[in-house]
Structure 1
Amino acid sequence: MKQNMRKRTPLAVLLALCLAMQLCVPAAMASNRLMRAGDAAIAQIEEEEGFRAEKYSSGGKWYIGYGTECGAEDYPEGITREEAELLLMSKVEAYEAKLNDFFGRYDVTPTQGQFDALICFSYNFGTGWMSGTSDLVKIARGEKDATRLEVAHAFGEWCHSGGQAQAGLADRRLQEAAIYLDDGTRAAENEFAYLIINMESGTSYETDFAVYEIGKTYGSFPKAEKLGYGFAGFRTSDGKTITENSIVNGNAVVTAQWTATSYTGKTYTDVNKSDWFYNYVMELSEQGIVGGNGDGTFAPNRPTSTGEMLKLVLLSTGHKEQKPSTAHWASGYATYAYSMGFAAQNYSDYQLDNGISRLDVARFAAKALGYGASNTTSPFADVNDGYVTALYEAGVFIGTKVGDLTYFYPNSSITRAEVATIVYRIYQLSSLDQKQKIYYKDYTLDVLEGVPTNTYNQSAFVKNGSIMTYNDPSVRTRVGIDVSQYQGDVDWNAVARTDVDFVIARVGGRGYTVGAIYDDTKFDEYADGAARAGLQVGAYFFSQAVSVAEAQEEAYHVLDKLRGHEITGPVVFDWEVIGKSEARTYGIETGVLCAAANAFCKIIKDAGYDPMIYITDYAGYVKYDLSEVMDYPLWYARYDVDAPSFYYDFAMWQYSSKGSVDGIKGNVDMDIWFIK
């Protein structure tokens, strides 16, 4: 490798560029801990990517050289290896800056091997891994004291494409793990081996990927379950069977082997092998989750009572048996389900003997599983409920196809045979610890653990003209508007005579290209006028911060502008995605955004105000890691729906940008605030 191709931009030039562009200096750079990718990292990337002189398309983007992204019209005559290496180095420098900033925020000083490994990984995967709660993030932050095998697995699990683990990516991830551990790739060949499971339809898997130590027994495999069959080990592509007692001697791509289940427990006179529900009933009977009647029957066609459903769902999701709290045998399950928030009411003894609708079953089962309401469009023609959709996405409810439409029949009762199929699928999800996914546009996202979910009753939202109401006696609401100088002159007394209770006025903002702070010319007038008219007043700042320092600057600017005004409503960090490549916030890393939001809100809170964070679907799902900003309520914006389907909880919904309110000429943003 020619050394003159490895020249880097001097640090002083980098700093000057940062200042000229008003970009933040990474924490690691500021504390003189700036690290660079070593020669081993560059060589590893070149080996992994391979050289291609002509550009090529993949995933809707164009690449050339060593996998460097380029434009569709770039390099019409191709590229030399020297030119390709220069492109590679320019891309690596961008990852160096992000990785230095990442380590600087968590006050971690990595070894050269750790830094190189994560440069290689980021070059292939991007920087999205830096946010979230994966084991790799925890290890890199220094939050988890991991074994060598755990480090290998933390890298290895990022080997999926198209929903299936891929051998080529797994090879690459283990080499990166070896570099992280030892500054070289030897352990990827001599110490670690991966197991990839070819997933088959009709089978449930805990995972399709695991890492083991060469020379030791497998010990345990990822769980796999198939209705009516027992697991009998894995078979490799060359026909060898491996069991948990087999010695690991290298990487393996395998397929599960099965033997038909011979049920040895209780049998029922009205459940036969030819029945479509036979395996469901017998599997649950073997587990002790379902039982029959005293006369030896199961009564598969009898409607399921509410009490039976509560017990079956709770037991199948891992909850313990409950002793009766009244004379009714199922009363303990009813009390427990209500106390846990799974059931909307504490059913009376009389209600426990009555039937239960399919809709109530779905809502109860989803909550018992720990699932929230899905944010995607309902697949059913006769119900639009997020909990039903969540269980459809998990494979619990399938529905009935009639022509081109699928029906759920939400108000119908459910037979004991149908319950057996549903409860078995729930039992599988619970036993395999299958986590709920969020589907947003082209993103498939893991649900963030510990982040409160949206529990609003979708049918309780009613809009009359520009005013949205929420008909739930357990939640108080207030109607409001948010305004900026574009609203012009406002008659606040006229506004106060409407159903509007509060106003959030823009203090100012930051430009998205140059990054200068500006004031809203109407803020003082709006804040004082609204307060005099008896409206509650809050404030927001349109942020384009790219660092903690800039967010702090914005917060102190807001505090200076709030002085002398009666502000009792929320003070909002309104960071928004511009979506243009010339925007200075374009491509901002999630960790930076979360740190900036927290910094802004802490200053606001310490000053005695109530901070809030503004989000859209894209910002909430993709840009923020909401588990990192849980100390502050969210103001959610979406206009094209009758009810908000955002997965996570929020305190305020901006439901329209085209509201009409007396006292204001033209359109105005409308909001509903939930006082819980």
Structure 2
Amino acid sequence: MKKPIARKKAAVKRKPRAKNKDPFFSGNRLRFSLIVFFIVLLFTVGYHYRNGLAYYFSFKSDKTLKEKAEAKRISDVRNYQVLQKHEGKVVGFDVSEFQGKIDWTLVDTVEEDYPLQFVFIRATAGNDKVDTQFKRNWRGAKRKNIIRGAYHYYRPNENSLEQAELFIKTVQLKKGDLPPVLDIEKLPKNQSIDSLKVGLRRWLKRIDKHYNVKPIIYSGESYYNDFLKDEFSEYPFWIANYNFFVEEIGENWLFWQFTEKGTVPGIKGNVDINIYNGTPKQLGYRTMN
């Protein structure tokens, strides 16, 4: 029997795969994707801050042309957004000699809409500095019936008890005034952090003993988290945080300084604006008896 002749299969020619000349994340598609992304981002941010932007550009329909012109002076949209979110809470401010001579007869609101009900006034700094405007500001706030409080700017490299004595000598608190405030913002140059904390506690205890009230500690949020939060948790805190995306007061913050760019009648230039984490009645309980 003859063996069948094996036939060779004809080779199938395959077309070479076409090279991807235009991958998704390159060229025109990449540019288009980026444009769409930024448009969506701008729309999202614009929608989130729509009320503040409307106020800034004077698009509110219930304002007269004159009011719209005055509203345009507002430079920080976030200020309005934050204030609007804290309806019912107490708004205040803080000042020092850097604001110059304040016309207290004109001080009434921030951004023309929100009544100012309390003020913190710098009294002293370090162991030898008395704020040149303290007495004038202290009297002015009293005449204006604004709840007032005094603060001391702490210098880490100076004796803590000498700093406390200067504050005591300068500030006489009366019924209705807020507790004393220790303003700590700087790190020491010639001592350890542990030594700094010892000094802070000495100042706080001396002030507590003299005025018979627990002082308030002021600091930036990062400083607070890194050095103060755990070891000084028994004290109330006044926190500074100007982050554009932070719009709510912290749960454990007694006061929040949310901007340094407020506008207040009677004061030239920018002013620090604060929110108290409570109602006017609750703020009254915080004052001296």
Quote the Cα distance in structure 2 between the aligned partners of 1:626 and 1:588.
20
AA aligned opposite 2:218: Y
Deviation at residue 602 of structure 1 after TM alignment? 2.2
TM-score when normalising by structure 1: 0.27
Are residues 1:537 and 2:148 paired?
yes
Quote the Cα distance in structure 2 between the aligned partners of 1:556 and 1:567.
22
Aligned ranges for residues 145-294 of structure 1 at < 5 Å?
none
Quote the Cα distance in structure 2 between the aligned partners of 1:626 and 1:465.
28
Q: Which residue of 1 aligns with 2:67?
A: none
Deviation at residue 468 of structure 1 after TM alignment? 5.8
Q: Which residue of 2 aligns with 1:509?
A: 125
Aligned ranges for residues 491-530 of structure 1 at < 5 Å?
491-496=103-108, 499-510=115-126, 517-530=128-141
Are residues 1:481 and 2:93 paired?
yes
RMSD of aligned C-alpha atoms?
3.1
Deviation at residue 487 of structure 1 after TM alignment? 0.9
Q: Which residue of 2 aligns with 1:611?
A: 215
Cα distance, 1:483–1:670 mapped onto 2, change above 3 Å: same
Deviation at residue 567 of structure 1 after TM alignment? 6.2
SS of equivalent residue, structure 1 residue 493: coil
SS of equivalent residue, structure 1 residue 556: helix
**Equivalent residue for 1:673, pick from 256, 259, 276:** 276
Q: Which residue of 1 aligns with 2:17?
A: none
Conserved 8 A contact 2:156-2:186 = no
Quote the Cα distance in structure 1 between the aligned partners of 2:239 and 2:181.
11
TM-score when normalising by structure 2: 0.60
AA aligned opposite 1:502: F
AA aligned opposite 2:90: R
Q: Which residue of 1 aligns with 2:165?
A: 556
Are residues 1:663 and 2:239 paired?
no
**Equivalent residue for 1:589, pick from 189, 192, 195:** 192
Cα distance, 1:493–1:565 mapped onto 2, change above 3 Å: farther
Cα distance, 1:495–1:465 mapped onto 2, change above 3 Å: farther
Q: Which has the higher contact order (CA 8 A, sep 6+)?
A: 2
Conserved 8 A contact 2:249-2:277 = no
Quote the Cα distance in structure 1 between the aligned partners of 2:144 and 2:213.
21
Deviation at residue 502 of structure 1 after TM alignment? 0.6
Deviation at residue 587 of structure 1 after TM alignment? 6.7
SS of equivalent residue, structure 2 residue 252: coil
Quote the Cα distance in structure 1 between the aligned partners of 2:249 and 2:141.
31
Cα distance, 1:522–1:466 mapped onto 2, change above 3 Å: farther
**Equivalent residue for 1:574, pick from 178, 183, 193:** 183
Deviation at residue 544 of structure 1 after TM alignment? 1.0
SS of equivalent residue, structure 1 residue 605: helix
Q: Deviations over 1:334-368 (max 9, x none)?
A: xxxxxxxxxxxxxxxxxxxxxxxxxxxxxxxxxxx
Q: Which runs of 5+ in 1 are unaligned?
A: 1-402, 405-461, 511-515, 579-584
Conserved 8 A contact 2:90-2:275 = yes
Deviation at residue 588 of structure 1 after TM alignment? 4.3
Q: Which runs of 5+ in 2 are unaligned?
A: 1-35, 38-77, 283-289
Q: Report how many aligned residue pairs link the two structures.
A: 200
Q: Deviations over 1:609-641 (max 9, x none)?
A: 45111121331233x142211121111111132
